[in-house]
Amino acid sequence: MDTNFETIGYFTEYFIGDKYIGTLPCERPTNELFGYCSQELITLNEDITLENKKRIKKNTEVKTFNQVLCGKLIKKES
């Protein structure tokens, strides 16, 4: 029996300094890395509203991390 893993989706975590602010789902990550290795320091060019309804204003410097949502195993009979 062969198994494959199907990823449901992705999300990005947002931090201001070292304080966790919230997450935002996305279809594709900004780069191919995940977790701590995907860390980016960016300045927002527009306001964003996160899943928890918190709003981050334009021109705020944020730290982001890409994460993978839980997926599921697909079993293939051989």
What pLDDT is attached to residue 75? 76
Give the pTM.
0.78
C-beta pairs of 56-59 under 8 Å, 24+ apart in sequence:
56/14, 56/16, 56/21
pLDDT band at 77 (very low <50, low <70, confident <90, very high): low
Q: What pLDDT is recorded for position 78?
A: 60
pLDDT of residue 45 exceeding 90, the answer is yes
Q: What pLDDT is recorded for position 48?
A: 94
Dihedral in degrees, nearest 10, Cα atoms 36, 9, 31, 74: 90
User: Is the confidence at residue 41, as pLDDT, over 50?
Assistant: yes
Cα separations in angstroms, 10 against 28, 47, 71, 75: 6, 21, 10, 22
